[in-house]
Amino acid sequence: MEDNYSHIEESLIYILENIPGPIHTSNEYRTLLENFESQITNHCNCDQICTKSLCICVMNSGGVCYINGKLQYDTDITHPVFECNSLCPCSIDCGNRIVQKGPVEGLTIARCVETDKMSKGLGIFTSRAISSGTFICEYAGEVITKSEAMKRHSENKKYERMNYIFCLNEHSNGNVTQTFIDPSQFGNIGRYINHSCEPNCQIVPVRVDSLVPKLAIFACEDIPPGAEITFNYGALSNDQGTATEGERKPCLCGAALCSGWMPFQSY
């Protein structure tokens, strides 16, 4: 994977994709590490280029697929995408290998304009037009356990630090699989993407080699040059809508249909 981006703060460490969180002796951490280091054993037997009707990996994605390099946009993408992996014999040019090739070019990190003297901080903007379905970048960081996420989340609150931890919920057969990603200290360009109530991107779980999904951000509409890249933090997270106003942060997305509050994640 290639990525020509970097952080603007020197204290942060730039990573291209997820890394496991800090070593711990708990069973919870051992399970997380096993999943992180696992190799998905399902693979296709396609010759060079995979096709939608024959490739097992594409079929495993439950109908969510790429056509001509673009994700076929569906407002309810809850099923993970399975890309062809290192056990698949198809070539690197196979159309079912998108996220593993790295982010789109032309993204810049810049400070967002203030609203009523309040600021979202930094954000990501595109210098080029991006068409709907294009893969933007991963939201990559440390993959941490639920306990570690809860600990870090309450420390962030206590010290009034920005919260970067994203909890991805995947529902399948009545079970929920949670993945906690924290790009606070180790992260990629995705850590700068802000929330919007009317976003131009969406987050999609994508699995390549590991059982732990990548949090992939895709454009869900055509995006003009100069626009800020945003996704809805509440989608695929566990916002129950139960938080009191005191627990929620005001949303500064500026969208006409803004709910007024940032999505609230309770673990």
Ligand X SMILES: C[S@@+](CC[C@H](N)C(=O)[O-])C[C@H]1O[C@@H](n2cnc3c(N)ncnc32)[C@H](O)[C@@H]1O
Interface ranges with ligand X (CB under 6 A): 120-123, 162-164, 191-192, 194-196, 251-253, 262
Q: How far apart are CA 35 and CA 210, in angstroms?
A: 7
For residue 184, which of 30, 66, 24, 21 has the smallest C-alpha distance? 21
For 130, the enclosing helix (H) or strand (E) is none
69 versus 121: smaller Cβ distance to ligand X: 121
One-letter amino acid identity for 119? Answer: S
For residue 187, which of 21, 20, 15 has the smallest C-alpha distance? 15
Least separation in angstroms between CB 265 and ligand X: 10
Least separation in angstroms between CB 64 and ligand X: 24
- List the structure tokens of 82: 């399975």
94 versus 204: smaller Cβ distance to ligand X: 204
66 versus 164: smaller Cβ distance to ligand X: 164
43 versus 120: smaller Cβ distance to ligand X: 120
DSSP string computed for 217-261: EEESS-B-TTPBPEE-TTTTS---S---TTTSPBP----TT--SB
Q: Phi and psi (nearest 5°) for 187?
A: -160, 175
- List the structure tokens of 248: 């929620």
Place of tokens 């994977």: 1
Residues in the chain, overall count:
267
121 versus 241: smaller Cβ distance to ligand X: 121
171 versus 267: smaller Cβ distance to ligand X: 267
According to DSSP, the residues that pair with 218 across neighbouring strands are 135, 202
Nearest to ligand X by Cβ — which residue?
121
- For 236-251, give one letter per residue: b (16+ CB within 10 A) or e: bbebeeebeeeebeeb
Least separation in angstroms between CB 53 and ligand X: 39
205 versus 234: smaller Cβ distance to ligand X: 234
Least separation in angstroms between CB 191 and ligand X: 5
Least separation in angstroms between CB 40 and ligand X: 28
Least separation in angstroms between CB 209 and ligand X: 25
Least separation in angstroms between CB 167 and ligand X: 13
